[in-house]
Amino acid sequence: MPPTENTLVVNFGRLLERWTDGRIKATPHRVIGSGRERYSVPFFYEPRIDAVIAPLRLRAADGVDAPASRPSSMAIMSGPRPRNSSNSPAWSLYGRRAARRTSRAIPRQRCETPTHVARFDPHLRTTLYFHDAIEPAHEVVLPRVEHVEAILAFGRDIGDDLSHLLVHCHAGISRSTAAMAMILAQAFPQEDEHAVVDRLLRIRPQARPNSRMIGFADELLGRNGRLTAAVNKVYARRLATRPELADVMRRLERAREVELGLGAQGSE
């Protein structure tokens, strides 16, 4: 960008683009030395590693018209171990974690297969598209019972060997962990629901499973409300250690999960 006298240049990164659901565009920016005197004030502020950066629901009156909200993907993959070599980015980024049955996230802006994942050896893969939501809203694609049935069918296809299973979504906290919880509950029917949730938390300590997905799975697996109750305890622990999450969740229209968590606190 050529310099313009008496102007202030502000470059935005991808986080703000994601936060505004594309309303603000991230600009490619590089510093090229010109030999001329100038002031440059870099400032970097990053959220916590487990922070949920959900797109804001902005009104058209707030600025330019907002693009239609796009459901991000929740993908489930299983297959042989990725190529284990020092020059394999797939192994260095995903392999060690996938071998430990870890769920991870992918960016929401693009729905195509991430480059590193595409370098895996051939594997079984299911991709589902819906929003991380539990209440109806304009242009929101809620998780449906058919989505949960597809996840459980995938789990049955891979059997009880979960050693090379990767489940990922946008944030790696809600949809993917709900999917992992139901796959675990199906793979280990002899375990009670609290043991299943403990398995999940060892895999993904930040888990806060989507309650709508868990409710469908609870019924389909014949857990008679016990899986939902065990997940409610997770909400309770999150709220006990980070009470400020209650306001955040309510703003994200997850108030019902707050109430479930508070109710579970009272039962402990």
Tokens 């195509």 locate to: 112
What is the spatial distance between Cα 83 and Cα 12, in angstroms, rounded to a whole number? 36
| Closest alpha carbon to 178 in 245, 186, 239, 48 | 186
Tokens 């906290």 locate to: 173
Enumerate the domain spans of the chain.
73-267
Which pairing describes strands 165-169 and 104-105: parallel, antiparallel, or unpaired? parallel
Inter-residue contact 197 to 181 (CB < 8 Å): yes
pTM confidence score: 0.63
Which tops the pLDDT comparison, 229 or 55? 229
Q: How confident is the model over 240-260, as pLDDT tens digits? A: 999 998 998 998 889 999 999
Average pLDDT, the chain: 76
State which amino acid sits at residue 159.
G
Domain 73-267 belongs in CATH node 3.40.50: no
pLDDT of residue 109: 39
pLDDT of residue 1: 61
User: In the predicted model, is pLDDT for residue 88 greater than 60?
Assistant: no
Inter-residue contact 116 to 83 (CB < 8 Å): no
Q: How confident is the model over 30-40, as pLDDT tens digits? A: 666 667 777 77
